[in-house]
Copies of this chain bind each other. A is one copy, B any other.
Amino acid sequence: MSKTVAGNFFEDFSLGQKIVHATPRTLGDGDRALYAALYGSRFAVQSSDEFARALGYPASPMDDLLVFNSVFGKTVPDISLNAIANLGYAECVFSTPVYAGDTLSARSEVIGLKENSNGKTGTVYVRSKGINQRGEEVVSFVRWVMVRKRREKSAGPAAVVPLLQKFANIKARVPRLNMAKWDFAQSGSPHRFDDYAVGEKIDHLDGMTVEEAEQQLATRLYQNTARVHFNQFAEQGGKFGRRLIYGGHVISLARALSFNGLANAFHIAGINGGRHVAPLFAGGTVFAWSEIIDKATYGDVGALRIVTRATRDLPCAEFPAEDATAEKPGVILELDYWALIPR
């Protein structure tokens, strides 16, 4: 058995297969600071212990997407090292908040397999879970990736495509908080649940140019080992001639940009779906806009269903929806999620 991991190919996966991922990692105050420095996120609950404690959190929880990216990263060596594309996400629910000192590990189950008609690739569906040191689930999500086959002619398994919910069921996971203690001056906006209408579109105005060093620092912080993000020597002969910015970096940037317009949308409770529509490279500037597509209430906390689109080199005053290509500015990410907000 080889001592090195060159990644699994389509033939290496089987339906129902369970995978324990390496490496467990303790998140701490340093991760919080790095996350702040990487994205400039300003949501008060994740920024201030005092703000979080007033609501009933024991301390400021880690950013939801830091948790997501950390768990995602662990799955890469087993799931997507030979992936051609991250096709989508679904049924992502953030269960238990993560605090400094918590140790996260990850495991996955293969829930679908479908060979592509070209005979060269197949789609692998996995449900991945992040677990804390007490065995509690902190996040669970489904993703599907297009993976190379080891041999073009090899016989594939019977196609099984999982039936996925259209949106994440967050109901059981909405935290009970003392929302009366919300401080709208400190949080940066007076706008609450009732101020947002279904169909409303918000241009988040700001743009953020991505540097290679930033995405490498972020992606390594998540212990994500996909070579497309790190290895210019290999990528210079590849499709794009350069390193690809990790998709989770774009998600985190888009969420941070969305503060300007959604400052009180303090917690991503779940991700209903997501697509990385087009690639991002260093030097590109990310903008974002959001549309409110649904609303729900859970006691004294509201939930906005939001679709945030991130663009490359295209300001969002006109709410662009056309996909970017490697050359043409446009949408690079569509993310459909539930965010909690004071009523």
**Chain A: residues with CB nearer than 8 A to chain B?**
1, 3-6, 20, 22-26, 28-34, 36-40, 42-44, 47-51, 60, 77, 100-101, 103, 105, 133, 185-191, 195, 202-209, 211-214, 216-221, 223-225, 227, 230-234, 243, 260-263, 283, 285, 287, 313, 315
Contacts and interface: CB of A to CB of B under 8 A. Distances in A.
Contacts of A187: 22-23
Given A3-B189, A231-B209, A47 B23 contact: yes
Contact of A37 (B6, B34, B208, B260): B34
Given A4-B204, A204-B4, A207-B233, A217 B25 contact: no
Nearest to A207: B231
A26 B49 contact: yes
B220 A207 contact: no
B186 A48 contact: no
Given A77-B188, A204-B4, A207-B230, A42 B22 contact: yes
18 contacts: A3-B261, A4-B261, A20-B186, A22-B42, A22-B185, A23-B187, A25-B47, A26-B47, A30-B33, A33-B221, A34-B34, A38-B220, A50-B133, A105-B186, A208-B230, A209-B232, A233-B287, A233-B315
A232 B286 CA distance: 10
A20 B187 CA distance: 10
Nearest to A190: B1
Contacts of A105: 48, 186
Which 4 A-B residue pairs are closest in the complex by CB-CB distance? A30-B33, A22-B188, A40-B220, A233-B285
Given A189-B3, A220-B40, A100 B29 contact: yes
Given A3-B189, A231-B206, A44 B60 contact: no
Given A22-B189, A22-B263, 19 more contacts: A1-B190, A3-B262, A4-B204, A22-B44, A23-B188, A26-B48, A28-B30, A28-B32, A28-B33, A29-B100, A30-B33, A40-B220, A48-B105, A207-B234, A209-B216, A209-B232, A217-B217, A232-B285, A233-B285
A230 B209 contact: yes
Contacts of A133: 49-50
Contacts of A263: 22
